[in-house]
Structure 1
Amino acid sequence: MSTDATAAPARRSYKGWAGIRRAFGTPSALTMAVLGFGCGLPFLPIASMTLSTRLRDSGLDLGSIGLISLASFFYLLKFLWAPLLDRYLFKPLGFLGRRRSWLLAAQLGVAVGLVALAFVRPELGVMPLVGWVLFTSFAGATQDAVVDAYRIEIAPVDAQAALAATYTLGYRIGLILGGAGALYLADFAGWTVAYLGMAALMALPLLATVLSREPAAQELTVQRRIDFLGAFWQPFASFFRNNGVTFGLALLVFVGLFKFPDQVIGVMAGPFYLDSGYTKADIATVSKLYGIWAGIGGAFLGGICVAAFGFRRMLLVAALGVALSNLAFLLMAQHPSQIWAFYAAITADNVAQGFAGTTLVAFMSSLTDRNFTATQFALMVSLANLPGKFAGGLSGYLVEASSYSTFFVLSALTVIPTLLLLAWLWPRIREAAAAPGAG
């Protein structure tokens, strides 16, 4: 599964339809699918639905389950230790190179953590479980940061959307196996077998890391000159040096607002489905199974469109799509318990999410300085998720004060600041995309 990472990106063209076929057909695209699978697989067993289901099944109270779920915040804080991933090798595996040494170490950490969680007994005490959840979440977040940096460094900007799409395919399949797959195993054979099964599946991304090539060596002259403390402040100084303070801040605000309309409704989605008269089986089938494949379709559509038309115009299409897809939930509000309305809303929402996710990844990748890939991209990923996550925590009060229909309309209108900022950024985006990658 070796990649074309050592090929000089400048000698390849990924523009137009021929470029699209070339980008999706590279060995790098297959590698990113497998690495994406490794990133998606542990998320639900250690930080979301699968873990909370296991804890409830073991008799834990809801308060404890909620507190343990906070371990997932490691995934939003990975930019704090990403400078070390940019600056240093993981010396015990240093023969693999800077990126792959950390990646293999993180993947081994995830596998070890899942094995340990398989034998933890939550009903006998939560502290061992909390410790291993934190350890595995840290390893999983580190894996995500390194994979993002690896993707950016193995291909030029105009191939990033294709790699993001194949990464999304693998990631979503990982979510399916780490969610529905783990629950089926737990139902038939118990939680120990379920977690051991997830650990065994980590062998696939481990193999991909061993067989793939280290990204072509960059002239990282800045990186070699900085000390330990400089590893933390240089990535941020570099970003504003490349973009300027005003434009740099505007870019970060834009990234933070881009998916806000979608994220703000995330917390209320489950209660809304139940309150609209849909059964748990309906929710599992339409939202968790069909919805994932709709999201994969949207991601590939985004990858094709960005490769064909560039990410600037697609940012506008994606921002509007994310906002307008929220209005599709009005169908469910107006036609409660009608399965066709559920499918229509989930199709619009997940296709828009997938399209926007690929477009945003391509855009953020263009902004990173390859001296500090892991740090800068991890920071932007955190910014892209934090505002909507925090606002979503207050969404229940808004629904109680009005109605679901009003809530969906208002959530769609939150795209207005994003569009205004995009209008200001529009003539400047092309120049910003070219500068950082030069390092």
Structure 2
Amino acid sequence: MTDLPGTNEVHAQTNWRKAVATYTEPRVLQVLALGFASGLPLLLTYSTLQAWLATVGVRRSTLGAIALVGTAYSFKFVWAPLIDRVPPPLPLGRRRGWGITIQILLIGAILAMGSCDPKHNLSRMAVLAVVVAFLSASQDIVIDAWRVESLDSEQQAPGAAMIQSGYRIGMLAAGAGSLFIAASNGWFAAYATMAALLGVGLLVFVFGPEPKLPAEKSYVAHSVWQTILHALFKAVIEPFRDFMNRPLWLVILIAIFAYKMGEAMAGVMSTPLYISLGFSLPEIATASKIFGFFSIVTGALIGGVVTTRFGILRSLILCGILQAIGNLFFVLQAVGGHRVGYLALCVTAENLTGAMAGTALITWLSSLCSPAFTATQFALLSSLASLSRTVIASSGGVLSEKIGWTQFFALTSVVGLPSLLLILWIGSRGGFSKDYRKPAI
């Protein structure tokens, strides 16, 4: 039967009202706070740390290598089963106990890193940055598990939106906020403030409830060794075996790894580019962090509309091409020099297109997870997607020194295009036959 005129619009308005109301529920608001805590540490070991080191004269090749400290985010799936199975030091429940423990250690590590002098203690600072990244990645494992297990089915999509929103707010605080504080009060004050702000997430774990999980099917083992092998199989082996039973799984992994490579290479050297062109820290904070924040949110929303309207395959291709075009604005910036208008345009284009591509990619990753292994498989796939940012992009400093800013950023606009060809090939082989137009959770 054909719907009456306006029926679809009425349904859409009703769904929108329900979604907005869900955002005000206490459990969903707690996810917003945890998203803030999740996003806060990232830039403290990435672009904010690069800005600190660049201002004291650290070489460009070293600035590019700083991206390697984020490798922990790419390999967090390795120790995720331990956090999922090993009892936490604090007997407050599996999620709350690990969450509180990790966040206390993370606060201490950030304070220690902020107290370093990069002119005399660069090695110690690098080690502490690795520790912060490791604890931050471990925190993400707990937060993702808490979110999925605490929210009911109707809260999962709003919870996913809240975790992303909180994450971006946390990155804004650690990016623009840290630069503003450092410009007036020094870098220790900036890092100490960020450590204090992590208390927002800590309060959620202290006062929030422990998720209630259904009892697992009992397993009768005849020895301790059998028990260990069974636990290892259920936690680690079975999720990977399930994914590798999927057709074209290896090609899918390669495409995921390469999809954001160009954006990663450009992003890791964006702050050093701005500083080399003579932009001050407040100028970078205003354009690259605050103004860029709204571009990211807008791009993510547009990416969601595009993915819903056209499906995941066409969205990955369209947004991937736009992402490549967005990187070309760095070439305009490098040629144009110290022009604030160019900076605003460059930041807007890169963040807008990158966020659109990110939404399409996250939707694809979510659709690839089997319901029985969502947490482990999503950790694996999201870690793989970020691997290019930490490993491949770390060569950006050396490469930009050899070929120059203009050629470097022109190169970043094309290195991700082979992944689009792989995605098209996967689509031609029926790899996108599933309906992917569901909320990513």
Shorter-chain TM range is 0.7 to 0.9
Q: Is 2:95 the counterpart of 1:99?
A: yes
- Structure 2 distance, partners of 1:262, 1:137, is 21
**Alignment correspondent of 1:139:** 135
Q: Which residue pairs with 2:8 in the alignment?
A: none
Aligned match of 1:428? 431
1:379 paired residue number: 380
Does residue 144 of structure 2 align to residue 148 of structure 1? yes
**Does structure 1 retain, via aligned residues, the 8 Å contact 2:31–2:163?**
yes
C-alpha displacement of 1:308: 6.5
Q: Return closer, same or farther for 1:139/1:416 CA change in 2, 3 Å cut-off.
A: closer
Q: CA deviation at 1:329?
A: 3.3
Aligned match of 1:33: 32
- What per-residue deviation string (whole Å, max 9, x for no partner) do you get for residues 128-178 of structure 1? 766654443332110112223344445689976654443232222222322
Query: Is the 8 Å Cα contact of residues 165 and 303 (structure 1) preserved in structure 2?
Result: no
The root-mean-square deviation of aligned C-alpha atoms, in Å, is 4.2
Partners in 1 of 2:40 and 2:46 — Cα distance? Answer: 12
Where do residues 7-406 of structure 1 align in structure 2 (5 Å cutoff)?
Answer: 18-19=14-15, 22-23=18-19, 25-26=22-23, 27=25, 29-45=28-44, 47-51=45-49, 70-90=68-88, 92-95=90-93, 98-117=94-113, 132-153=128-149, 162-215=158-211, 217-218=213-214, 220-221=216-217, 227-228=227-228, 234=234, 235-242=236-243, 244=245, 246-273=247-274, 281-303=282-304, 305-306=306-307, 311-333=312-334, 335-369=336-370, 371-395=372-396, 404-406=405-407
Match in the other structure for 1:3: none
| Pair 1:200–1:252, CA change in 2 (3 A) | same
In structure 2, what residue type is equivalent to 1:250?
V
CA distance in 2, matches of 1:74, 1:219: 31
Deviation string, structure 1 residues 279-337 (Cα, Å, up to 9, x no partner): 65543332233113311322233345556665454333332221221233344355444
Residue by residue over 1:324-364, the C-alpha shift from the partner in whole angstroms, topping out at 9 and shown as x without a partner, is 21233344355444433332222111012222223323332
Shift of 1:90: 2.0
Q: Kindly tell me: are residues 71 and 386 of structure 1, through their superposed partners in 2, closer, same or farther at Cα, counting changes over 3 Å?
A: closer
Alignment gaps of 5+ in structure 1: 1-14
- Matches of 1:255 and 1:271, distance apart in 2: 27
Shift of 1:99: 3.1
Higher deviation after alignment, 242-251 or 301-310: 301-310
Maintained 8 Å contact 1:164/1:358: no
Pair 339,321 (structure 1): closer, same or farther in 2 beyond 3 Å: same
Q: How many residues align?
A: 418
TM-score calculated relative to the size of structure 2: 0.76
Give a deviation string over 1:246-288, Cα, whole Å, max 9, x none.
Answer: 4222222222122122112234434544566756554333223
Checking the alignment, whether the CA contact within 8 Å between 2:51 and 2:272 is kept in structure 1 is no
1:114–1:196: 8 Å Cα contact kept in structure 2? Answer: yes
- Percent of paired sites with the same residue: 32
Distance 1:125 1:398 in 2: 26
Greater mean alpha carbon deviation, residues 248-257 or residues 234-243: 234-243
Single out whichever of 364-373 and 63-72 deviates more from structure 2.
Answer: 63-72
**SS class of match (1:264):** helix
How far is 1:425 from its partner? Answer: 3.0
Segments of structure 2 that go 5 or more residues without pairing to the other structure are 1-10
